[in-house]
Amino acid sequence: REPLPRPKRARVMVVANQKGGVGKTTSTVNMAAALAQHGLRVLVVDLDPQGNASTALSIDHHRGTPSTYDALVDGVPLTEIVQESPEVPGLFVVPATIDLAGAEIELVSLVARESRLRKAIMAYPPVTAEDEDRLDYVLIDCPPSLGLLTLNALVAGEEMLIPIQAEYYALEGLGQLLETVEMVRAHLNPELAISTILLTMYDARTRLAAGVAEEVRSHFGDQVLRTAIPRSVRISEAPSYGQSVMTYDPGSPGALSYLEAAREMALKGANA
């Protein structure tokens, strides 16, 4: 594949939308794999107790596996936690175990409870390294809520990647996310920007999807990637094989759309 430009330093991107089932995990996994297939070095941080991103990338995350929980609650360094994907070279994962479900409550009583993920990521040498070990992208897969886990991601990242499902209620609930982002910018992380919106499960045959896309584009303008991800059975089947859609069915429209969306995101970031 054609190599993509490496950003000047690691782009830490928060994949968030408090609505469940909009394609956060699917987009995290496939954008990460697509960037890695283009030759970039990528870290996925699984911040959802369900561990779906870990499963989809064939990463061991049974109870007891060093995980996001240990980094957040006990300050275990990421060097002791990160696993490399067996499928895609250059793709690394901080897995989530079910322990993470308790972290939302355990974090409440800890010092600097909103900035623990930031601290862990910034202390991970490949994020700041100057040599070929340096990471180009860190993608954080958030749970479907605006609790302390997602807050940790919003404090850790500089950019947000918001997947929006092209359906009737798409923009409903987004107001709450945008308010949270404003609060974080005002008090915790002034750097945070909504850089990338990705339309998912797009059905080009329906007028409804076209209408939603138009509404999202008129609201967010250039932040919306031109490439929309089509609704595709291949995309939804791939995780059960522990594969990205690019490995599972390389020529499928779903695979090509994630490759193109990742390319667009990388080229946009390179000019920024």
Partner whose binding site includes residue 21, from ligand ADP, Mg ion, none (CB under 5 to 8 Å by kind): ligand ADP
Task: Copy the structure tokens of residue 128.
Answer: 């700041």
Choose one: 15-23, 97-105, 148-156, 207-215; the region binding ligand ADP (CB under 6 A).
15-23
Task: Copy the structure tokens of residue 200.
Answer: 């998912």
Partner whose binding site includes residue 211, from ligand ADP, Mg ion, none (CB under 5 to 8 Å by kind): none
Dihedral class, residue 20 (left if φ above 0, else alpha if ψ from -120 to 50, else beta): beta
Element (H, E) at 199: strand 193-200
The C-alpha atoms of residue 198 and residue 184 are separated, in whole angstroms, by: 22
Total of chain residues touching ligand ADP, rule CB under 6 A: 16
Query: How far is the CA of 215 from the CAs of 15, 231, 268, in angstroms?
Result: 21, 19, 22
The nearer residue to ligand ADP, 31 or 36, going by C-beta atoms, is 31
Partner whose binding site includes residue 78, from Mg ion, ligand ADP, none (CB under 5 to 8 Å by kind): none
| Contact in structure between 247 and 219 (CB atoms under 8 Å) | no
Q: Is 150 in the site for ligand ADP (CB under 6 A)?
A: no
The C-alpha atoms of residue 192 and residue 157 are separated, in whole angstroms, by: 7
| Contact in structure between 37 and 87 (CB atoms under 8 Å) | no
State in angstroms the smallest separation of the CB of 99 from Mg ion. Answer: 17
Q: Is 20 in the site for ligand ADP (CB under 6 A)?
A: yes
Partner whose binding site includes residue 200, from ligand ADP, Mg ion, none (CB under 5 to 8 Å by kind): ligand ADP
Residue holding tokens 């609650």? 73
Q: Is 26 in the site for ligand ADP (CB under 6 A)?
A: yes
The nearer residue to ligand ADP, 41 or 227, going by C-beta atoms, is 227
CA proximity to 163, closest of 46, 12, 20: 20
- From the list 11, 19, 24, 116, which residue makes contact with Mg ion (rule: CB under 5 A)? 24
State in angstroms the smallest separation of the CB of 162 from ligand ADP. Answer: 10
The C-alpha atoms of residue 128 and residue 160 are separated, in whole angstroms, by: 20
Binding site for ligand ADP (CB under 6 A): 20-26, 52, 144, 200-201, 229, 231-232, 235-236
Binding site for Mg ion (CB under 5 A): 24-25
